[in-house]
Amino acid sequence: MTVNQIYDYIQPGKRAHLVGIGGVSMASLAEVLLGSGVVITGSDQRESATVLHLRSLGIPVTIGHLPENVEGADCVVRTAAVHDSNPEIAAAHAQGIPVFERAQAWGAIMRGYKNALCISGTHGKTTTTSMCTHVFMAAQLDPTVMIGGTLPLLEAGHRVGHGDTIILESCEYCNSFLSFYPTVAVILNIEADHLDFFKDLDDVEHSFRAFADRVPDSGTIVANCEDENTMKALAGERRPIFTFGVEKGDVHAANLTVHEGFASFDVMYRGEKYAHLDLSVPGMHNVKNAMATAAAAIVLGVPGEAVERGMREFRLPGRRFEYKGAYHGAEVCDDYAHHPSEVAALLDTARQLNYQRVVVAFQPHTYSRTHELFDDFVQVLQKPDVTLLAEIFAAREDNTLGISSRDLVRHIPGSIYCPTLADVTEKLKEIARPGDLILTVGAGDIYLAGEALVKSEDKAIPPARA
């Protein structure tokens, strides 16, 4: 089924059944479709706060995947994790009900907007999409938004607006962003990742080039000119390319200063100051994310004053250097970083924040990523003062490679293997000192170890840096 076909099935009055409706992107999709007049039903494997919220909106959600759930639906939408063997998908096929992918539904939705701002990249998508949301709301453009995380401003990962702009986090995994119709495509960076799907870096670059090629001639590709792989992927591109960077690009920084990890700088465009930003989030990677945001704003005609105002009020989405509390004088934060480059950027930021020690509890995400990027993980995980390794979070995979976090520990001097999250929490209790920054890091459920640590403290200490 194609995006063109799904467009006819998500019109007002039609009924769409969403399989896996409790997921972040699927729940957002359900609300956006509901707001446009589509009748929504859904199913999920378990009860959750998201499921309860959807029910409060009048969306019937069934727990368990049952063939009868699809009866009466005009179409079925599923996540990439739901296969043809699923009872509801099998029933839909048997009854001749069209089945579409989640990304196809988002692609069809964005066709209804004048401006479709799609933010892609191996790293930084969620943060940059969130920054763009702050800026476009500060400009009073009333955007529709889909983010792969919870943004404090929205108290959700999505927003149903009534303006002519939609802002979407755009993921390359399984080529899902190739179902999108960007009028402005942002490419933050390109690295080898998701190697359970892509063959190698060249394959990843090919996917991003295909994404860029989906921009119409009247649109714009916003690209990080300081990222070698991005510029390689875009070589020979005939569509308009608008570049950004820290030191160079159509949009770049000037008068950059950094105080305890927090940057201040002027955003320069065509030789003139477009905006001045005092970032409320630390790290040079966030300077790059802010430059991408400013570049997208310029392309879409947003004044510099709105960028300043939006960024002044910006707070990171959940699981991005998220403060969790304190334990015995140590501050506990959590971060979603799961690629070696992301972990390196996180640790470089942490080092600038004047803690006495940086203690990291890292949970590798997927066997394939751990195996393919093993040497990179070994190198970066030697940077903390103390490194704990939780067992690998399987996510969608089976361990056909026979790999374990124990293998990393053997190559990282002084690191500690913790078979369970409870072991992580106990070890953190044992080693925590006043003045420490304790980071739980990974895309799985490692955050639970930090939360358990904080809960065991009698009284939480407020963060030293808001």
Q: Do 281 and 150 belong to one domain?
A: yes
Is 292 inside any structural domain?
yes
User: Six-digit token pair at 234?
Assistant: 């875009």
123 and 192 share a domain? Answer: yes
Q: Are residues 301 and 409 in the same domain?
A: no
Q: Is residue 7 assigned to a domain?
A: yes
Residues spanned by the domain of 94:
3-102
Q: For position 157, what pLDDT does the model report? A: 82
- Confirm whether 466 is domain-assigned: no
CATH number for the domain harbouring residue 33: 3.40.50.720
Domain boundary residue among 312, 339, 357? 312
First-residue to last-residue Cα distance in the chain: 47
Same domain, 328 and 288: no
- One domain for residues 264 and 119: yes
Please report, rounded to a whole number, the percentage of residues in the chain having pLDDT higher than 90. Answer: 83
User: Residue 335 burial (CB < 10 Å; 0-12/13-18/19+)?
Assistant: buried
Query: 98 and 196: one domain?
Result: no
pLDDT 10s digits, 80-130 = 778 999 999 999 999 999 999 999 999 999 998 999 999 999 999 999 999
Q: Are residues 84 and 128 in the same domain?
A: no
pTM (global) more than 0.75? yes
Domain match, 118 and 215 both = yes
In the chain, the number of structural domains is 3
Looking at the domain assignment, is residue 317 inside a domain? no
Q: In which residue are the tokens 């799985």 written?
A: 444
Residue 450 maps to a domain: yes
Domain closes at, from 312, 338, 373: 312
Q: For position 459, what pLDDT does the model report?
A: 46
In a domain, 417, yes or no: yes
| Residue 215, in any domain of the structure | yes
Mean pLDDT across 261-277? 96
Predicted pLDDT at 158: 85
Asked, for residue 85, whether it belongs to a domain, the answer is: yes
> How does pLDDT run across 64-79, given as a tens digit for each residue?
999 999 999 999 999 8
> What is the predicted pLDDT for the residue at 149?
79
pLDDT tens per residue across span 416-429: 999 999 999 999 99
d(CA 136, CA 113) in angstroms, rounded, equals 15
**335 and 443 in one domain?**
yes
Instruction: Please report, for the domain that includes residue 436, its CATH number.
Output: 3.90.190.20
